[in-house]
Amino acid sequence: MKTKRITKKGIVVLFFTLSIFIAVAVLQAFISAHNILNFFIRFFGLWGYLSMAIAAIMTPFLKEINQMFGRPFLIIHHIFAYAGLFLITLHPIFFAIYSSTIDVFIPDFSSWYNFWLTAGRPSLIVLYIALIAILLRRKIKPWRIIHALMHLMLLLGFIHAILIGTDFNSKAILVIYSVVFAAVIVSFIIKRLQLYRNLIKKKKIQKGW
């Protein structure tokens, strides 16, 4: 089977996406860091979140992704999803090394504010639950519902970053990630509408309409 080539629209989308990653890295470089380890802690978090968000944003556009990049949707989706998973996992690991404590992996329920302040902790747990759902999709019937928890992870991560993220003191980074998160919400709504329409269409076919 002959592999299709990436289209001009695909090149534009790819260039725009890469530009966002580069812009975030450049903006972060201008923000002072105590040391190189601290820099990478923030870098893993920023790029990891961005990768996961892009993976979520593209879910309603299966046909468009296939056509633009000449590759199956899942290949493109998984590139961003697994890259995000890897980077986001490194974020707390390196922070644990930096702070010399494993508390960074334990959700804080001491108060409502502290829970959201450290919402990155439960977000990591939710992320891996969603990952398990996709890996065991043949055994778990409602795997799509569980996998959709990825959006909850992005919500928790976004609030965590706003409340405690050093780089979110930069208005440019705050704007970029606010727009990205808004795009995540829009894509979630679009996907739910698509599923609803498909369900209605399926019921009509079953009734012989």
Q: What is the pLDDT of residues 54-97, one digit of tens each?
A: 999 999 999 999 999 988 998 999 999 999 999 999 999 999 99
> Which of 193, 184, 197 has its CA nearest to residue 176?
184
| The predicted structure's pLDDT at residue 205 | 67
**Other residues' Cβ atoms within 10 Å of the Cβ of residue 59:** 20
| The predicted structure's pLDDT at residue 135 | 77
**Other residues' Cβ atoms within 10 Å of the Cβ of residue 157:** 27
Sign of CA dihedral 88, 180, 34, 108: negative
Q: Domain residue spans in the chain? A: 8-207
Is residue 53 within 8 Å of residue 155, measured between CB atoms?
Answer: no
For residues 42 and 124, give the distance between their C-alpha atoms in angstroms, rounded to a whole number.
15
Q: Could you tell me if residue 91 is left (phi over 0), alpha (psi between -120 and 50 degrees) or otherwise beta?
A: alpha
pTM, to two decimals: 0.90
**Phi (first) and psi of residue 151, to 5 degrees:** -70, -35
Q: What is the pLDDT along the chain (209 residues), one digit of tens a residue?
A: 455 788 999 999 999 999 999 999 998 888 765 678 888 899 999 999 999 999 999 999 999 999 999 889 989 999 999 999 999 999 999 999 988 889 989 999 999 999 999 999 999 999 998 888 777 777 777 777 777 788 999 999 999 999 988 888 889 999 999 999 999 999 999 998 988 887 777 776 666 65
